[in-house]
Protein backbone atom coordinates (compact mmCIF):
# COMPACT_ATOMS: atom_id res chain seq x y z
CA UNK A 1 0.00 0.00 0.00
CA UNK A 2 1.34 3.40 -1.01
CA UNK A 3 2.16 5.92 1.69
CA UNK A 4 3.25 9.18 0.03
CA UNK A 5 3.59 11.03 3.35
CA UNK A 6 6.59 9.03 4.51
CA UNK A 7 9.61 10.54 2.70
CA UNK A 8 12.94 8.74 2.80
CA UNK A 9 16.32 10.05 1.64
CA UNK A 10 19.05 7.74 0.41
CA UNK A 11 22.56 9.07 -0.29
CA UNK A 12 20.87 12.38 0.08
CA UNK A 13 18.35 10.82 -2.27
CA UNK A 14 14.75 11.44 -1.28
CA UNK A 15 12.58 8.34 -1.57
CA UNK A 16 8.96 7.67 -0.66
CA UNK A 17 8.32 4.45 1.23
CA UNK A 18 5.68 2.42 -0.52
CA UNK A 19 5.41 -1.14 0.77
CA UNK A 20 6.31 -3.04 3.96
CA UNK A 21 9.86 -4.28 3.69
CA UNK A 22 11.08 -7.71 4.68
CA UNK A 23 14.39 -7.87 6.47
CA UNK A 24 17.26 -8.18 4.02
CA UNK A 25 20.79 -9.48 4.40
CA UNK A 26 23.14 -7.34 6.44
CA UNK A 27 26.27 -8.06 4.37
CA UNK A 28 25.90 -5.08 2.02
CA UNK A 29 28.40 -2.37 2.86
CA UNK A 30 30.32 0.12 0.77
CA UNK A 31 33.99 -0.84 0.80
CA UNK A 32 36.19 2.20 1.47
CA UNK A 33 39.39 0.15 1.50
CA UNK A 34 39.16 -1.36 -1.97
CA UNK A 35 42.45 -0.63 -3.77
CA UNK A 36 44.13 0.82 -0.67
CA UNK A 37 47.51 -0.16 0.70
CA UNK A 38 48.47 0.00 4.41
CA UNK A 39 47.91 3.36 6.11
CA UNK A 40 51.16 5.03 7.18
CA UNK A 41 50.53 7.53 10.01
CA UNK A 42 53.78 9.45 9.30
CA UNK A 43 53.55 13.22 9.09
CA UNK A 44 54.01 14.86 5.66
CA UNK A 45 57.57 15.88 4.77
CA UNK A 46 58.49 19.46 3.90
CA UNK A 47 55.02 20.84 4.57
CA UNK A 48 52.84 21.21 7.65
CA UNK A 49 49.43 19.59 7.86
CA UNK A 50 47.74 23.00 7.91
CA UNK A 51 49.68 24.12 4.84
CA UNK A 52 48.69 20.88 3.12
CA UNK A 53 45.01 21.48 3.90
CA UNK A 54 45.16 25.02 2.58
CA UNK A 55 46.97 23.85 -0.55
CA UNK A 56 44.50 21.14 -1.53
CA UNK A 57 41.49 23.32 -0.63
CA UNK A 58 42.80 25.98 -3.01
CA UNK A 59 43.15 23.37 -5.75
CA UNK A 60 39.63 22.16 -5.04
CA UNK A 61 38.29 25.67 -5.67
CA UNK A 62 39.99 25.63 -9.09
CA UNK A 63 38.60 22.16 -9.77
CA UNK A 64 35.07 23.26 -8.83
CA UNK A 65 35.21 26.19 -11.25
CA UNK A 66 36.85 24.12 -13.99
CA UNK A 67 34.15 21.46 -13.95
CA UNK A 68 31.63 24.17 -14.81
CA UNK A 69 33.51 24.58 -18.10
CA UNK A 70 33.04 20.96 -19.12
CA UNK A 71 30.17 19.05 -20.63
CA UNK A 72 29.77 15.43 -19.55
CA UNK A 73 27.43 12.46 -19.42
CA UNK A 74 25.88 11.35 -16.14
CA UNK A 75 24.56 7.79 -15.89
CA UNK A 76 22.57 6.92 -12.76
CA UNK A 77 21.36 3.51 -11.60
CA UNK A 78 19.49 3.06 -8.32
CA UNK A 79 18.41 -0.45 -7.32
CA UNK A 80 16.63 -2.12 -4.43
CA UNK A 81 17.63 -5.68 -3.61
CA UNK A 82 15.98 -8.66 -1.98
CA UNK A 83 18.93 -10.85 -1.09
CA UNK A 84 20.90 -11.24 -4.33
CA UNK A 85 17.90 -10.33 -6.48
CA UNK A 86 17.34 -6.86 -7.89
CA UNK A 87 13.63 -6.23 -7.34
CA UNK A 88 13.48 -2.67 -8.63
CA UNK A 89 15.60 -0.29 -10.68
CA UNK A 90 15.73 3.33 -11.76
CA UNK A 91 18.08 4.12 -14.68
CA UNK A 92 18.66 7.47 -16.33
CA UNK A 93 21.38 8.83 -18.62
CA UNK A 94 21.75 12.59 -18.97
CA UNK A 95 24.02 14.80 -21.08
CA UNK A 96 25.05 17.89 -19.12
CA UNK A 97 25.55 20.73 -21.61
CA UNK A 98 25.78 24.53 -21.66
CA UNK A 99 24.25 27.13 -23.95
CA UNK A 100 26.07 30.12 -25.47
CA UNK A 101 25.49 32.08 -22.26
CA UNK A 102 27.08 29.39 -20.12
CA UNK A 103 23.78 28.24 -18.65
CA UNK A 104 23.55 24.59 -17.70
CA UNK A 105 21.28 22.35 -19.79
CA UNK A 106 20.40 18.75 -18.96
CA UNK A 107 19.28 16.51 -21.80
CA UNK A 108 17.94 13.09 -20.82
CA UNK A 109 19.03 10.57 -23.47
CA UNK A 110 17.96 7.31 -21.84
CA UNK A 111 15.21 6.74 -19.30
CA UNK A 112 13.37 3.41 -19.32
CA UNK A 113 10.36 3.17 -17.05
CA UNK A 114 11.38 2.74 -13.44
CA UNK A 115 10.64 -0.66 -11.91
CA UNK A 116 11.13 0.53 -8.33
CA UNK A 117 8.19 -0.70 -6.26
CA UNK A 118 9.27 -0.02 -2.69
CA UNK A 119 10.74 3.44 -3.17
CA UNK A 120 10.33 6.29 -5.62
CA UNK A 121 12.71 9.18 -6.24
CA UNK A 122 12.01 12.91 -6.13
CA UNK A 123 13.56 16.02 -7.71
CA UNK A 124 15.95 16.45 -4.75
CA UNK A 125 17.77 13.28 -5.78
CA UNK A 126 19.25 14.78 -8.89
CA UNK A 127 20.86 17.69 -7.09
CA UNK A 128 22.68 15.12 -4.98
CA UNK A 129 24.00 13.31 -8.06
CA UNK A 130 25.35 16.61 -9.34
CA UNK A 131 26.69 18.18 -6.17
CA UNK A 132 26.91 15.88 -3.16
CA UNK A 133 28.34 12.62 -4.40
CA UNK A 134 31.15 14.47 -6.26
CA UNK A 135 32.18 16.03 -2.91
CA UNK A 136 34.32 19.18 -3.09
CA UNK A 137 36.11 20.88 -0.17
CA UNK A 138 37.23 24.39 -1.09
CA UNK A 139 38.97 27.10 0.93
CA UNK A 140 35.60 28.77 1.53
CA UNK A 141 34.20 25.61 3.13
CA UNK A 142 37.13 24.72 5.41
CA UNK A 143 35.64 26.60 8.35
CA UNK A 144 32.58 24.34 8.33
CA UNK A 145 34.56 21.15 8.97
CA UNK A 146 36.81 19.52 11.52
CA UNK A 147 39.70 18.02 9.55
CA UNK A 148 42.02 15.38 11.01
CA UNK A 149 45.16 14.20 9.25
CA UNK A 150 45.22 10.37 9.24
CA UNK A 151 48.42 9.58 7.37
CA UNK A 152 49.67 8.54 3.94
CA UNK A 153 48.37 5.69 1.79
CA UNK A 154 48.95 4.13 -1.62
CA UNK A 155 45.61 4.00 -3.48
CA UNK A 156 45.66 2.05 -6.73
CA UNK A 157 48.58 3.72 -8.57
CA UNK A 158 48.59 6.92 -6.51
CA UNK A 159 50.34 8.08 -3.35
CA UNK A 160 47.96 10.10 -1.21
CA UNK A 161 47.49 12.03 2.01
CA UNK A 162 44.49 10.86 4.01
CA UNK A 163 42.11 13.03 6.05
CA UNK A 164 39.04 12.31 8.17
CA UNK A 165 36.50 15.11 8.06
CA UNK A 166 33.23 15.89 9.80
CA UNK A 167 31.00 18.99 9.92
CA UNK A 168 31.36 21.18 12.99
CA UNK A 169 27.59 21.66 13.26
CA UNK A 170 24.58 19.88 11.81
CA UNK A 171 20.90 20.65 12.04
CA UNK A 172 19.04 17.41 12.71
CA UNK A 173 15.75 19.08 11.87
CA UNK A 174 16.53 19.31 8.18
CA UNK A 175 19.22 21.96 7.74
CA UNK A 176 21.97 21.83 5.10
CA UNK A 177 23.65 18.48 4.53
CA UNK A 178 27.37 17.89 4.83
CA UNK A 179 29.82 15.14 4.01
CA UNK A 180 31.28 13.05 6.83
CA UNK A 181 33.97 10.49 6.16
CA UNK A 182 37.44 10.13 4.65
CA UNK A 183 39.15 11.79 1.69
CA UNK A 184 42.35 10.89 -0.16
CA UNK A 185 44.44 13.73 -1.66
CA UNK A 186 47.01 13.09 -4.39
CA UNK A 187 50.48 14.01 -3.07
CA UNK A 188 51.58 15.65 -6.34
CA UNK A 189 48.52 17.43 -7.72
CA UNK A 190 46.98 18.15 -4.29
CA UNK A 191 43.47 17.31 -5.42
CA UNK A 192 40.97 14.90 -3.90
CA UNK A 193 41.08 11.61 -5.80
CA UNK A 194 38.82 9.46 -3.62
CA UNK A 195 36.00 10.09 -1.14
CA UNK A 196 34.24 7.61 1.14
CA UNK A 197 31.57 8.35 3.71
CA UNK A 198 28.01 9.57 3.90
CA UNK A 199 25.91 12.71 3.88
CA UNK A 200 24.64 13.96 7.25
CA UNK A 201 22.44 14.61 9.15
CA UNK A 202 19.98 11.76 9.06
CA UNK A 203 16.44 12.77 9.98
CA UNK A 204 13.87 10.57 11.65
CA UNK A 205 10.45 12.12 12.11
CA UNK A 206 6.97 10.66 12.42
CA UNK A 207 6.15 11.22 8.76
CA UNK A 208 9.64 11.54 7.31
CA UNK A 209 12.87 9.56 7.44
CA UNK A 210 16.02 10.87 5.74
CA UNK A 211 18.70 8.18 5.76
CA UNK A 212 21.97 8.17 3.87
CA UNK A 213 23.99 5.16 2.73
CA UNK A 214 27.75 5.08 2.76
CA UNK A 215 29.19 5.81 -0.70
CA UNK A 216 32.59 5.91 -2.37
CA UNK A 217 33.49 8.27 -5.22
CA UNK A 218 36.57 7.97 -7.41
CA UNK A 219 38.11 10.67 -9.57
CA UNK A 220 40.32 10.41 -12.65
CA UNK A 221 42.60 12.96 -14.24
CA UNK A 222 41.03 14.80 -17.18
CA UNK A 223 43.09 16.77 -19.71
CA UNK A 224 46.21 16.14 -17.67
CA UNK A 225 45.34 18.52 -14.83
CA UNK A 226 41.89 18.17 -13.28
CA UNK A 227 40.79 15.22 -11.14
CA UNK A 228 37.09 14.95 -11.99
CA UNK A 229 34.62 12.45 -10.46
CA UNK A 230 34.03 9.48 -12.75
CA UNK A 231 32.47 6.75 -10.60
CA UNK A 232 30.36 6.52 -7.45
CA UNK A 233 29.05 3.39 -5.79
CA UNK A 234 26.94 2.80 -2.69
CA UNK A 235 25.93 -0.55 -1.20
CA UNK A 236 24.11 -0.29 2.09
CA UNK A 237 21.23 -1.51 4.22
CA UNK A 238 19.07 1.34 5.49
CA UNK A 239 17.20 0.78 8.72
CA UNK A 240 13.83 2.43 8.31
CA UNK A 241 11.24 2.32 11.09
CA UNK A 242 9.08 0.06 8.94
CA UNK A 243 11.90 -2.34 8.12
CA UNK A 244 15.22 -2.60 6.36
CA UNK A 245 15.89 -2.03 2.67
CA UNK A 246 19.07 -2.78 0.77
CA UNK A 247 20.00 -0.13 -1.77
CA UNK A 248 22.68 -0.08 -4.45
CA UNK A 249 23.65 3.02 -6.42
CA UNK A 250 26.03 3.36 -9.34
CA UNK A 251 26.72 6.78 -10.85
CA UNK A 252 29.11 7.26 -13.76
CA UNK A 253 30.36 10.62 -15.02
CA UNK A 254 31.98 10.33 -18.46
CA UNK A 255 32.73 12.06 -21.79
CA UNK A 256 34.17 15.20 -20.22
CA UNK A 257 34.74 17.85 -22.89
CA UNK A 258 35.65 21.50 -22.59
CA UNK A 259 33.23 23.96 -24.10
CA UNK A 260 33.75 27.55 -25.27
CA UNK A 261 34.94 29.61 -28.18
CA UNK A 262 38.12 28.60 -30.01
CA UNK A 263 39.74 31.99 -30.56
CA UNK A 264 42.92 33.02 -28.76
CA UNK A 265 43.62 36.47 -27.36
CA UNK A 266 47.29 37.40 -27.10
CA UNK A 267 48.63 40.26 -24.98
CA UNK A 268 52.36 40.94 -25.08
CA UNK A 269 53.08 37.51 -26.51
CA UNK A 270 51.12 35.71 -23.74
CA UNK A 271 48.02 33.67 -24.55
CA UNK A 272 45.19 34.67 -22.22
CA UNK A 273 42.29 32.51 -21.04
CA UNK A 274 39.46 32.89 -23.56
CA UNK A 275 36.78 30.57 -22.28
CA UNK A 276 38.07 27.41 -23.93
CA UNK A 277 40.19 26.57 -20.92
CA UNK A 278 39.15 26.78 -17.28
CA UNK A 279 41.23 29.13 -15.12
CA UNK A 280 44.46 27.58 -13.77
Tens-digit pLDDT profile for residues 67-112: 988 999 999 999 999 999 999 999 999 999 988 877 889 999 999 9
Residue 274 dihedral angles phi and psi, to the nearest 5°: -120, 10
Q: How far is CA 68 from the centre of its chain?
A: 16
Q: How far apart are CA 230 and CA 264, in angstroms?
A: 30
Quote the pLDDT of residue 221: 95
B/e letters for 221-259, b = 16+ CB within 10 Å, e = fewer, are ebeeebbbbbebbbbbbbebeeeebbbbbebbbeebeee
The secondary structure of residue 139, as a DSSP letter, is: G
pTM attached to this predicted model: 0.83
Strand order, beta sheet including 85-98: 104-110, 85-98, 70-82, 243-258, 226-240, 215-222, 192-200, 178-186, 158-167, 145-155
Q: What is the DSSP string of 39-69?
A: -B-PPPSSS-HHHHHHHHHHHHHHHHHHHTT
Residue 13 dihedral angles phi and psi, to the nearest 5°: -95, 135
Query: For residue 35, what are the contacts with CB-CB under 8 A and spacing of at least 6?
Result: 155, 156
Summarize pLDDT for 156-180 with one digit per residue, the tens: 999 999 999 999 998 877 678 899 9
Quote the pLDDT of residue 260: 66
Per-residue pLDDT of the chain (280 residues; tens, 9 = 90+): 122 235 444 444 444 444 333 333 445 789 999 999 999 999 999 999 999 999 999 999 999 999 988 999 999 999 999 999 999 999 999 999 988 877 889 999 999 999 988 776 756 667 778 888 999 999 999 999 999 999 999 999 999 999 999 999 988 776 788 999 999 999 999 999 999 999 888 777 777 777 778 999 999 999 998 999 999 999 998 887 878 889 999 999 999 999 864 434 333 444 444 444 444 4
Q: How far apart are CA 138 and CA 142, in angstroms?
A: 7
As a dihedral over the C-alpha atoms of residue 132, residue 135, residue 136, residue 140, rounded to 10 degrees, the angle is 50
Quote the pLDDT of residue 266: 35
- Beta strand residue intervals within the chain, DSSP E: 7-10, 13-17, 70-82, 85-98, 104-110, 119-121, 145-155, 158-167, 178-186, 192-200, 203-204, 208-210, 215-222, 226-240, 243-258, 265-267, 270-272
Q: How far apart are CA 155 and CA 31, in angstroms?
A: 13
Amino acid sequence: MRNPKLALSVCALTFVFLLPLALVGQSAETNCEDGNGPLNPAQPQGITVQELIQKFAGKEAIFKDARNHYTYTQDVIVQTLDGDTVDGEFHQTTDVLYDDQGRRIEKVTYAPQSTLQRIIMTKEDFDDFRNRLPFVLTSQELGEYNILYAGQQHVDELDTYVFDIAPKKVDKNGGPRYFQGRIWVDNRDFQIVKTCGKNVPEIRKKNEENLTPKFVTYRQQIDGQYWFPTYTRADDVLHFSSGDVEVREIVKYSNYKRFGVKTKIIYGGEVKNNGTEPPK
